[in-house]
Structure 1
């Protein structure tokens, strides 16, 4: 992000660090529900806050991940764990704050991951994937470590989809030579979609009967009926 407006870069840095604290807290609240000790709080906070960016940096060959090269990231993730350890965060107010705050960070992290991949010359579809991984990868590792099925795999309001849309918007703006504008628009689109998904209860459809099998069964029934009519007519 060295080539963008300093104000935009500063805003991203601020939201990035806020996201680390918030996701550290979210990881800690899950540790509380699972009745983990302080070590569990810290590890779930670290996974939640940092794992997505670390996996992204490893895959694009960006050198040492910011999560380990900058002590602020580790420190703030641990602060989030400590907040969750000392405070039992629950209730509607916390839920609304968490959802809306997490939606903002999702938009920012999706855009950040996409921009970083673009700066390393990765294919456009890979850039979108890196944005999604940055936003949801930490939550996936956190859920797996705590013995849960990752929420993005179904049953929860749309989360990965807003990250994908954010990445696509960012790639579109960047391809048009409007990267700075994209860094303003893309996170707003992703955040808005994530918030709408929460309040409207939007989820991706789960498979019912597999369409291919369903069609094959009906075709087989049709062939059997046609065959029976044909043989019946021959006997007459």
Structure 2
């Protein structure tokens, strides 16, 4: 049996880091192990399931590949037993969330392109893939989803990474290096926004 291709490996990497993000959010909310697993699975798989349903890739990959279920479980176990150590690795929630955002915007856009969608619609679906799980995580955790107040650049880095992925694909540039490059770009922009406090503007007259 052939091993997973580069896009699937990157997709699984995005699932892992988003699942860690969901697991750490569960720790902050003082949830039990069941709540942690649910939050990790939904954060990791929610955006991809929505993308697959929209492009007609049914059943979604989350229900056809064992790895898509086991990887979030492994991330949940990691956070359950070693969350103090994981949390000490920089601001872990934001770091893992940014990495998942970058990986998912790139792989989500690529999958939409491969299913014949236009570059513009593929970019939109790449953003949905990137932010969908985080929206569900925040809602279940009783928080306003980050994408609704893009104050430290959440959706915009995903949109930029997805756009780079679409432009590269239409220019006949393919391969894991291109996908990884788009992911790194989105991740880096998100982390820089957090580091330097870059913000999107509010409507005129609305105070910060």
- For the superposition of Structure 1 and Structure 2, which TM-score range results when normalised by the shorter chain? 0.7 to 0.9
**Kept after mapping to 2: 8 A contact 1:143/1:150:** yes
Q: Deviations over 1:123-176 (max 9, x none)?
A: 222100111111111010111112111112226521211110111112112222
- Report how many residues are paired: 203
TM-score (norm 2): 0.85
1:199 CA drift (Å):
1.4
Structure 2 unaligned blocks of 5 or more = none
Match of 2:203 in 1: 207
Given the superposition, is the C-alpha separation of residues 91 and 24 from structure 1 closer, same or farther in structure 2, using an over 3 Å criterion?
Answer: closer
SS at match of 1:157: coil
**Kept after mapping to 1: 8 A contact 2:18/2:96:** no
Given the superposition, is the C-alpha separation of residues 28 and 184 from structure 1 closer, same or farther in structure 2, using an over 3 Å criterion?
Answer: closer
Q: Distance in 1 between matches of 2:80 and 2:151?
A: 25
Match of 2:190 in 1: 194
Q: Let me know the Cα RMSD of the aligned residues.
A: 2.5
Q: Distance in 2 between matches of 1:15 and 1:172?
A: 19
Structure 1 unaligned blocks of 5 or more = 1-5, 211-236
Aligned with 1:117 (options 112, 134, 148)? 112
Match of 2:170 in 1: 175
SS at match of 2:90: helix
Higher relative contact order (CA 8 A, sep 6+): 2
| Runs of 4+ with >4 A deviation | none
Whichever of the two has the greater Rg, that structure is 1
**2:39 is the counterpart of 1:44:** yes
TM-score (norm 1): 0.76
Q: Deviations over 1:172-227 (max 9, x none)?
A: 122222234743542232222122212111121222427xxxxxxxxxxxxxxxxx
Larger fraction in helix: 1
Aligned counterparts, 1:48-197, within 5 A: 48-89=43-84, 93-154=88-149, 156-180=151-175, 182-197=178-193
